[in-house]
Amino acid sequence: MTELASYNFAYLDEQTKRMIRRAILKAIAIPGYQVPFASREMPMPYGWGTGGVQVTASIIGPDDVLKVIDQGADDTTNAVSIRAFFQKVADVAVTTHTQDATIIQTRHRIPEQTLREGQVLVYQVPIPEPLRFLEPRETETRKMHALEEYGLMHVKLYEDIARHGRISTTYAYPVKVASRYVMDPSPTPKFDNPKMHMYEALQLFGAGREKRIYAVPPYTEVVSLDFEDHPFEIQTFSQNCALCNAHGVYLDEVVLDDKGGRMFVCSDTDNCEDRRAHGHVGEMLAQDPPLGKEAAE
Amino acid sequence: MIDSEALSGGFTHPVFQSQSAFRMLMDGMARPGTIQTVATDVGQPEPLRTAAGAIALTLCDHETPVWLSAGLGKSVVGEWIGFHTGAPLTREKAEARFAFLEPGITPASFGLFALGSQEYPDRSTTLVLEVAALRLEAGSGQKLTLSGPGILQSREIWIDGLPDSFSRLWIDNRALFPRGVDVILTAGRDLLCLPRTTKIAA
């Protein structure tokens, strides 16, 4: 009996991995600069994280422990599919615990728990060019980065203030990396921007459709753009998490019924579960059972 | 006639050994001044050493012209890299994606290597420079204090056999940022990365 042909380890062929690995090394050497790479077709549509998956596939080894999050959650479609993909093609251990993972692939959130040295955070990026909506031509945005000409971005933020009285950009909030390149932190809420500054873990960004890889090494300055009289601010929440009572974390609003019922819960599910396991109880969990009153009506 | 030495060696498990070597390079680039040690033998011919051999096997292929310094060029190293990776050799420094330099070589300038352009600074040569020894504790050799991205405050390293002119060349290289070369120092099985962002104080 012949052995059935199987995928190469981590799906990509070795030549593709080498090409991506070379791009990653140059990306780390030039923090915030977008390195073009020959993005491959992946067995999932663009927009599902093909860039992040290619970066993860190029760096992952048999000893790695992978965590995948989608908007902070381990149990949503995108996260579950990508985790299953790597279990199948790389046979690696997976986890939902932030501190156990060596590689965390993320879509649009940074874990609430601080990462440690040696962990790698891989972002899925839809549009890597922060200047793209201001200048559609790649030749021009290249030149703007080359000349460090970021006036247009400040004009955009100023127009926000002129129109709304404040900078209304709430996600994909532009940052300047190591005092040189303006970078799109991917559509993470601006709540997460301060975490990127002097972060302990290596941050890698992969954009599959746009064919770009960029990186922020550990302990690198990442400054959100702002003005002296309109300093950068993050979102604040008046409520605590309804399940774990956490304060100062990013919360998602969940609509409960058609009578205006709603709850705010942690977007980082691992952090929330960990807090509940340690005995923290939010107001919705304290009601026992949570929906008992309504059921009795 | 091809030397049989050129056909020997290489990774025994290319997929996993190149992944492991790459992670050392990635961690090394992300944390300049840390020393990574390549454990596997790669059977590279003299005067190439283990870490430099592993770098060639991990990163070079038909897309990456390789430049060799005179001593390496005279040896079977070029044929070995060609056989195992398919990388073409070039005599033009400006065409090289990777350049391997034997110990004791002092390049007059990094300026003849590819430095990238202001628009595409990534299109630059990565230099793999062999030295006698890399140390994290005080010892013989030249002491360098590193700072910059990837380093919390600063990190001290001691290097035996670093060309005297290296600090001056590095200042010139730093001045070109974001253009410039990236350097990987190798000493036997050890390697240490110096991306172009790293500031060096002697």
Q: Specify whether A220 is located in the same domain as A275.
A: no
**What does the radius of gyration of chain A's CA atoms come to, in whole angstroms?**
21
Residue A1 or residue B30, greater confidence: B30
Domain count, chain A: 2
In this complex, do A219 and B149 lie within 8 Å of one another by their Cβ atoms?
yes
Q: Specify whether A58 is located in the same domain as A101.
A: yes
Is A260 designated active site?
no
A125 and chain B: CB distance < 8 Å anywhere?
no
Nearest-10 Cα torsion for B64, B69, B70, B76: -50
Distance CA B195, CA B185 (A): 11
Task: Say what the pLDDT of residue A289 is.
Answer: 54
Task: Say what the pLDDT of residue A293 is.
Answer: 46
Best residue in A9, A14, A26 for a mutation probing chain B (most B CBs within 10 Å): A26
Backbone CA torsion sign across A78, A84, A90, A96:
positive
Q: Which residues of B touch A28 (CB under 8 A)?
A: 26, 29-30, 150, 195
B63 and chain A: CB distance < 8 Å anywhere?
yes
pLDDT in tens, A180-189: 999 999 999 9
- Nearest chain B residue (CA) to A102: B23
B155 and chain A: CB distance < 8 Å anywhere?
no
Q: B1: pLDDT confidence band, cut at 50, 70 and 90? A: low
The CATH number of whichever domain residue A199 belongs to comes to 3.40.50.11310
Instruction: For residue A162, tell me if it sits in a domain.
Output: no
Mean pLDDT of the residues in chain A? 92
Backbone CA torsion sign across B55, B59, B61, B64:
negative
Instruction: For residue A239, tell me if it sits in a domain.
Output: no
Instruction: For residue A3, tell me if it sits in a domain.
Output: no
B residues 89-128 closer than 8 Å to A (CB): 97, 117-122, 124, 126
Q: Specify whether A51 is located in the same domain as A94.
A: yes
Task: Please state the rounded mean pLDDT for residues B108-124.
Answer: 95
Peptide bond between residue A111 and the one before it cis (omega within 30 degrees of 0): no
Residue A216 tokens, joined:
């922020």
Of A19, A24, A117, the CB nearest to B26: A24
B18 and chain A: CB distance < 8 Å anywhere?
yes
Of A30, A61, A216, the CB nearest to B122: A30
Distance CA A179, CA B111 (A): 24
In this complex, do B197 and A29 lie within 8 Å of one another by their Cβ atoms?
yes
Question: Own/partner pairs for B157-160, CB < 8 Å, 24+ apart?
Answer: B157/B33, B157/B35, B157/B192, B158/B134, B159/B131, B159/B133, B159/B134, B159/B135, B159/B185, B160/B131, B160/B132, B160/B133, B160/B134, B160/B135, B160/B187
Q: Specify whether A262 is located in the same domain as A217.
A: no
Q: How far is B164 from chain A (nearest CA, A)?
A: 24
Instruction: For residue A115, tell me if it sits in a domain.
Output: yes
Q: Specify whether A122 is located in the same domain as A68.
A: yes
Q: Specify whether A25 is located in the same domain as A111.
A: yes
Task: Say what the pLDDT of residue A294 is.
Answer: 47
pLDDT in tens, A33-71: 999 999 999 999 998 999 999 999 999 999 999 999 999
Q: B140: pLDDT confidence band, cut at 50, 70 and 90? A: confident
Closest CA relative to residue B144, chosen from B186, B183, B192, B202: B202
Residue with tokens 């891989």: A122
Range of the domain at A267: 251-295
Of A28, A178, A221, the CB nearest to B30: A28
Task: Please state the rounded mean pLDDT for residues A259-288.
Answer: 89
pLDDT in tens, A141-166: 999 999 999 999 999 999 999 999 99
Q: Which residues of A touch B149 (CB under 8 A)?
A: 31, 178, 216-217, 219-221
Q: Which residues of B touch A198 (CB under 8 A)?
A: 152
Instruction: For residue A2, tell me if it sits in a domain.
Output: no
Is A118 designated active site?
no
Instruction: For residue A98, tell me if it sits in a domain.
Output: yes
- Looking at the predicted structure, is the pLDDT value of residue B127 above 50? yes
A16 and chain B: CB distance < 8 Å anywhere?
no
Is A248 designated active site?
no
B181 and chain A: CB distance < 8 Å anywhere?
no
Q: Specify whether A192 is located in the same domain as A270.
A: no
Q: Which of A51, A206, A244, A282 is catalytic?
A: A244
Distance CA A156, CA A177 (A): 19
Q: Specify whether A81 is located in the same domain as A189.
A: yes
Q: Specify whether A180 is located in the same domain as A291.
A: no
Distance CA B49, CA A32 (A): 33
In this complex, do B151 and A178 lie within 8 Å of one another by their Cβ atoms?
no
DSSP states along chain B: ---GGGGS---SSHHHHHHHHHHHHHHHHHSTT--EE--S---PPTTS-HHHHHHHHHH-STTS-EEE-HHHHHSSHHHHHHHHH-PPB-S-GGG-SEEEE-TT---S-STTS-B--SS-TTSBPEEEEE-SEEESSS-SSEEEEEESTTSSS-EEEEEES--TTHHHHHHHHHHTTTS--EEEEEETTEEEEE-TT-EEE-
Instruction: For residue A91, tell me if it sits in a domain.
Output: yes
Task: Say what the pLDDT of residue B99 is.
Answer: 96
pLDDT in tens, B166-192: 999 999 999 999 999 999 999 999 999
Q: Specify whether A269 is located in the same domain as A212.
A: no
Task: Please state the rounded mean pLDDT for residues B8-35.
Answer: 95
pLDDT in tens, A64-90: 999 999 999 999 999 999 999 999 999
Task: Say what the pLDDT of residue A296 is.
Answer: 42
Distance CA A110, CA A196 (A): 9
Q: A288: pLDDT confidence band, cut at 50, 70 and 90? A: low
Task: Say what the pLDDT of residue A154 is.
Answer: 95
In this complex, do B122 and A33 lie within 8 Å of one another by their Cβ atoms?
yes
Q: Specify whether A68 is located in the same domain as A111.
A: yes
ipTM score assigned to the predicted complex: 0.96
Task: Say what the pLDDT of residue A67 is.
Answer: 96
Q: Distances in Å between the alpha carbon of A186 and those of A31, A51, A53, A157? A: 15, 12, 15, 17
Task: Say what the pLDDT of residue A287 is.
Answer: 66
Peptide bond between residue A136 and the one before it cis (omega within 30 degrees of 0): no
Q: A219: pLDDT confidence band, cut at 50, 70 and 90? A: very high
Residue A170 tokens, joined:
């709430």
Instruction: For residue A153, tell me if it sits in a domain.
Output: no
Q: B5: pLDDT confidence band, cut at 50, 70 and 90? A: confident
Task: Say what the pLDDT of residue B185 is.
Answer: 96
Are the beta carbons of A121 and A202 closer than 8 angstroms? yes
CA angle B156, B157, B159 (to 5 degrees): 155
Task: Say what the pLDDT of residue A12 is.
Answer: 95
Closest CA relative to residue B63, chosen from B83, B85, B94, B92: B85
In this complex, do B61 and A18 lie within 8 Å of one another by their Cβ atoms?
yes
pLDDT in tens, A247-266: 999 999 999 999 999 999 99
pLDDT in tens, A2-29: 566 678 999 999 999 999 999 999 999 9
Q: For residue A149, how many other CB atoms are within 10 A of its CB?
A: 14
- Looking at the predicted structure, is the pLDDT value of residue A205 above 50? yes
Structural domains in chain B, CATH included, are 4-192 (3.40.50.11310)
Q: Specify whether A256 is located in the same domain as A208.
A: no
B147 and chain A: CB distance < 8 Å anywhere?
no
